[in-house]
Amino acid sequence: MIKINQNYLKLNASYLFSEIAKRVNAFIEANPDSAVIKLGIGDVTKALPTACIKAFHEAIDEMGDDATFKGYGPEQGYPFLRSAIAENDFQARDAAVDPDEIFVSDGAKCDTGNIQELFAPDIRIAVPDPVYPVYVDTNVMAGRTGGFANGRYEGLIYLESTKENGFIPELPKEKVDLIYLCFPNNPTGATATKDELAEWVHYARDNKALILFDAAYAEFIRDDNLPKSIYEIEGAKEVAIEFRSFSKTAGFTGTRCAYTVVPHNCRAYDADGEARLLHPLWNRRHSTKFNGVSYPVQRAAEAVYSQEGKAQTRALIDYYMNNAALIRKTMTSIGYNCVGGDNSPYIWIEAGSDSWAFFDRLLNEAGVVCTPGAGFGSCGAGYIRISAFNSHENVQEALERITKALTK
Ligand SMILES: *Cc1c(COP(=O)(O)O)cnc(C)c1O
Q: What is the pLDDT of residues 20-38, one digit of tens each?
A: 999 999 999 999 998 999 9
Residue 126: which of 167, 181, 165 has the closest Cα?
181
Distance (angstroms) between ligand 1 centre and the Cα of 308 equals 24
Average pLDDT on 89-103 reads 95
Q: Which DSSP symbol is given to 13?
A: -
Identity at 139, one-letter amino acid code: N
Q: Tens digits of per-residue pLDDT, 165-174?
A: 999 999 999 9
Distance (angstroms) between ligand 1 centre and the Cα of 10 equals 24
Q: Tens digits of per-residue pLDDT, 236-246?
A: 999 999 999 99
Residue 336: which of 358, 320, 305 has the closest Cα?
358
Q: Tens digits of per-residue pLDDT, 153-163?
A: 999 999 999 99
Give pLDDT, residue 42: 85
Give pLDDT, residue 150: 86
Q: Tens digits of per-residue pLDDT, 119-131?
A: 999 999 999 999 9
Q: Where are the beta strands (DSSP E) in 133-214?
A: 148-149, 152-153, 157-160, 178-182, 210-214
For a pLDDT cut of 70, what percent of the chain falls above it?
100
CA–CA separation, 372 vs 381, rounded Å?
A: 8
For a pLDDT cut of 90, what percent of the chain falls above it?
95
| 251: pLDDT strictly greater than 90 | yes
Given a contact cutoff of 8 angstroms between Cβ atoms, the answer to whether 254 and 266 are in contact is no
Nearest residue (by CA) to ligand 1, atom 2, is: 216
CA–CA separation, 118 vs 286, rounded Å?
A: 11
CA–CA separation, 254 vs 248, rounded Å?
A: 10
Residue 117: which of 89, 139, 88 has the closest Cα?
139
CA–CA separation, 393 vs 46, rounded Å?
A: 13
State whether the beta carbon of 248 lies less than 6 angstroms from ligand 1.
yes
The crossing angle, in degrees rounded to 10, of helices 50-63 and 295-302 is 150
Q: Which helix (H) or strand (E) holds 227?
A: none
| 318: pLDDT strictly greater than 80 | yes
Which residue out of 43, 132, 136 has the highest number of ligand 1 atoms within 8 Å of its CB and is therefore the one to mutate?
132
Distance (angstroms) between ligand 1 centre and the Cα of 106 equals 11
Give pLDDT, residue 240: 98
Entry pTM: 0.97
Q: Tens digits of per-residue pLDDT, 264-282?
A: 999 999 999 999 999 999 9
| 288: pLDDT strictly greater than 80 | yes
CA–CA separation, 347 vs 189, rounded Å?
A: 6
**Domains (ranges, CATH) in the chain?**
6-47+310-407 (3.90.1150.10), 53-307 (3.40.640.10)
Q: Tens digits of per-residue pLDDT, 3-16?
A: 999 999 999 876 78
| 185: pLDDT strictly greater than 90 | yes
| 41: pLDDT strictly greater than 90 | no
